[in-house]
Chain A
Amino acid sequence: MNKPEKPDQIQVLSPWSEIDPIPLKTPALRLNGLSGKKIGLFANHKRAARPMLEVVEKWMQEKFPDITLEMYIGTETNVPEMWTRGREKFEKWIDDVDGVVLAVGD
């Protein structure tokens, strides 16, 4: 930033915070179809989340008869599951499914 050119010009400092560099990641590889797969359904605490996923569950079961579906309900309200006492169970659940549909419910 150059020095002020006019007497009434003043330099100001930035109020915007710095953040640690975020290592960017690629999303997980996609599935080659849903037939025969085990799909997890993750609902947070919002009241519409679970009923939304029940619709997903019913639709997928009809569309892909050989699919397996498993619902997971978040442990605490408004807390990411990895920060809750349910973390270990959540990690096992993720490792046991091929893909996950999440509903935020907002």
Chain B
Amino acid sequence: MYDAIAVEQRDTPTATLVNTGFITDSKSASGLQGIPGLRTVPETVPCECSVQGVIEENILKSMNDVVTALTTPLTEQEKHPVQKQADASRIIFSGDYTEINRFFYRRGWGDGLPLVPPTEAAVREMLQGTDLPSDHLVGKLEPRFGKATIEKIAINAVMAGALPTHLPVIIATVKGLADKTSGFGTYGCSTGSWSPHTVVNGPIRDEIHINYGSGALSPGNIANAAIGRAISLIAKNIAGARKGVEDMGVQGNPAKYSQVMGEDEAGSPWEPEHVGRGFAASDSTVTLFFPNCYDQLWPFGTDEKGILSGIIYNLMPGNSNALTLIVLTQNHARTLADAGWDKDKICTFISLNASTPAYRHPSFYGTNIGIENKPAMPINAMDPVLLVRNKKNLRIIVAGGPGSFIGRHTSSSLLGDFVTYKIDVPQNWQTLVQKYKNLVPKYEI
């Protein structure tokens, strides 16, 4: 709707054809852009339809409404839009635990699971995780351009069950959300159900017990779970990406509950991800991107040929030139390193060798989404098309437990890019780390 708003702002009337399933989304967008009276015309073309006859049949039904939208004088309501008054109270509710949870749930401020009540005391404790003042503005987050102040971040972190030692990671991730390069404003609302994925590097991983070993992405570790959950709540409550209103993910994504992992730097034969991006090994960082799917690849063998074949023959033809994070186990990484491979060589190899017969590529049908990054299609259906033409779209990290499966997280390069932010810890950091260092699960065997 931003384009229609831009046209209207130059005193030119518009009529925007909007699929009936996206009318609420478009009303939210036009309201947030200051023209709640923007005229939309509902249309019933099946979403992203590629059949001309169907498009024609459905658009023709809306054509009289298009003319009406462009020519009928503005109503009094459209001429005099009324500002909605949001409840800006700092203290928003008083009640017992159940009442608070139900109040938040009804307001749409939760993720469906019980929340930790963000009391003044709990938020004050959370704020020990930063030296920044509570009114410091980290950024404004799309789509609502909500102000991500330290206090609002801390409130959502409390609700997620995070510890004060997690706050520095959450703040750094919010910087990534606010960075236009990351593309969160689009990923967070897209029909593609893209979900924040955070890789933590540096010494903070061990200080706050970020899991980068067995089941790094499974539930069971506070740091991984609560940091990711806080980001999910921030996306909803601060950014305003609400499911079915602004977040129009078609199928949704369980990774939106949480998707945080560390890199196993000690177990890797290569430099860690953040060092490859110019940070010092002693820095702690978050790397953020937005995959919408996660797959686990079984290598064709445990030698270099088997490992690399397992990767290149399992990339997805449907998402061309995708941002892709490959997660190798220690054993596979060592095998490859011993054979002379480093991260850059692996990325080069994948970009040159991962291909698909043209007939398996959407561009062969002329229907690939997007207006950039379309590969030139060969004439013959069986000729190869490279899947990741830009090796910069590939990242390799080492993580996971014993075993052989390789992780593959796939995003789109059409909407954004990986971003990496340094994690700043408060002056009392070591005291804080000591306070929570024994909070780890111990399983009796």
B71 touches A27 (CB 8 A): no
Q: At the interface, yes or no: B440 with Cβ under 8 Å from chain A?
A: no
B119 touches A106 (CB 8 A): no
A68 to B31, CA, bound (A): 31
Q: At the interface, yes or no: B400 with Cβ under 8 Å from chain A?
A: no
* Inter-chain contacts of A45 with B (CB < 8 A): 369-371, 414
* Inter-chain contacts of B71 with A (CB < 8 A): 30-34
A9 to B63, CA, bound (A): 57
Interface string of A47-67 (1 = CB under 8 A from B): 110011001100110010000
Interface string of A21-42 (1 = CB under 8 A from B): 1111111111111100001101
* Inter-chain contacts of A94 with B (CB < 8 A): 6-7, 10, 12
User: How many residues in B have their beta carbons less than 8 Å from beta carbons of A?
Assistant: 107
Total A-B Cβ pairs within 8 A = 283
- Contact A18 B146, CB 8 Å, known A46-B48, A102-B14: yes
B6 touches A99 (CB 8 A): no
A22 touches B78 (CB 8 A): no
- Contact A19 B144, CB 8 Å, known A45-B369, A105-B48: yes
Instruction: State which of B7, B22, B119 has its C-beta within 8 Å of the C-beta of A13.
Output: B119
B90 touches A14 (CB 8 A): yes
* Inter-chain contacts of A44 with B (CB < 8 A): 3
* Inter-chain contacts of B88 with A (CB < 8 A): 14, 18
* Inter-chain contacts of B52 with A (CB < 8 A): 51
Tell me how far the C-beta of A78 lies from the nearest C-beta in chain B, rounded to whole angstroms: 5
Tell me how far the C-beta of A101 lies from the nearest C-beta in chain B, rounded to whole angstroms: 5
B14 touches A25 (CB 8 A): no
Q: At the interface, yes or no: B444 with Cβ under 8 Å from chain A?
A: no
Instruction: State which of A9, A18, A42, A80 has its C-beta within 8 Å of the C-beta of B95.
Output: A9
Q: At the interface, yes or no: B50 with Cβ under 8 Å from chain A?
A: yes
Instruction: State which of B119, B147, B370 has its C-beta within 8 Å of the C-beta of A19.
Output: B147
* Inter-chain contacts of B237 with A (CB < 8 A): 15-17
A55 touches B59 (CB 8 A): yes
Tell me how far the C-beta of B366 lies from the nearest C-beta in chain A, rounded to whole angstroms: 9
A27 touches B369 (CB 8 A): no
A32 to B70, CA, bound (A): 9
Interfacial residues of chain B within 1-58, with CB under 8 A of chain A in the complex: 1-4, 6-19, 21-22, 26, 31-39, 43, 45, 47-50, 52, 55-56
Q: At the interface, yes or no: A88 with Cβ under 8 Å from chain B?
A: no
A102 touches B4 (CB 8 A): yes
Interface string of B107-143 (1 = CB under 8 A from A): 1010000000111100100000000000000001100
Q: At the interface, yes or no: B245 with Cβ under 8 Å from chain A?
A: no
A27 touches B38 (CB 8 A): yes
* Inter-chain contacts of A25 with B (CB < 8 A): 8-9, 34-35, 81
B45 touches A90 (CB 8 A): no
A76 touches B90 (CB 8 A): no
A81 touches B6 (CB 8 A): yes
A51 to B86, CA, bound (A): 40
Tell me how far the C-beta of B29 lies from the nearest C-beta in chain A, rounded to whole angstroms: 10
A73 to B371, CA, bound (A): 9
* Inter-chain contacts of A79 with B (CB < 8 A): 186
Q: At the interface, yes or no: A69 with Cβ under 8 Å from chain B?
A: no
Tell me how far the C-beta of B444 lies from the nearest C-beta in chain A, rounded to whole angstroms: 34
- Contact A10 B415, CB 8 Å, known A15-B109, A27-B74, A30-B71: no
Instruction: State which of A18, A27, A63, A101 has its C-beta within 8 Å of the C-beta of B8.
Output: A27
Sorting the interface of chain A by its residue count into under 10, 10 to 19, 20 to 34 or 35 or more gives: 35 or more
Instruction: State which of A17, A55, A82 has its C-beta within 8 Å of the C-beta of B147.
Output: A17
Tell me how far the C-beta of A16 lies from the nearest C-beta in chain B, rounded to whole angstroms: 6
* Inter-chain contacts of B370 with A (CB < 8 A): 45, 77-78
B371 touches A106 (CB 8 A): no
A95 to B78, CA, bound (A): 23
Interface string of A2-16 (1 = CB under 8 A from B): 111110111111111
Tell me how far the C-beta of A53 lies from the nearest C-beta in chain B, rounded to whole angstroms: 8
- Contact A104 B147, CB 8 Å, known A15-B118, A18-B88, A74-B3: no
A5 to B52, CA, bound (A): 64
Tell me how far the C-beta of A38 lies from the nearest C-beta in chain B, rounded to whole angstroms: 10
A59 to B74, CA, bound (A): 24
- Contact A97 B83, CB 8 Å, known A8-B96, A19-B144: no
Q: At the interface, yes or no: B79 with Cβ under 8 Å from chain A?
A: yes
Please give me the residue from chain A that is nearest to B14 by CB atom: A100
B94 touches A9 (CB 8 A): yes
Instruction: State which of A8, A13, A23, A100 has its C-beta within 8 Å of the C-beta of B34.
Output: A23
- Contact A11 B119, CB 8 Å, known A24-B83, A29-B11, A77-B371: yes
Taking beta carbons and an 8 Å cutoff, which residues of A are in contact with B? 1-6, 8-34, 39-40, 42, 44-48, 51-52, 55-56, 59-60, 63, 73-82, 90-91, 94-95, 97-106
9 chain-A/chain-B pairs, Cβ below 8 angstroms: A12-B100, A18-B86, A22-B83, A27-B78, A28-B13, A51-B52, A79-B186, A101-B70, A106-B47
Seed contacts A33-B71, A59-B63; 7 additional CB < 8 Å A-B pairs: A11-B91, A15-B152, A19-B144, A24-B34, A24-B35, A52-B17, A101-B14
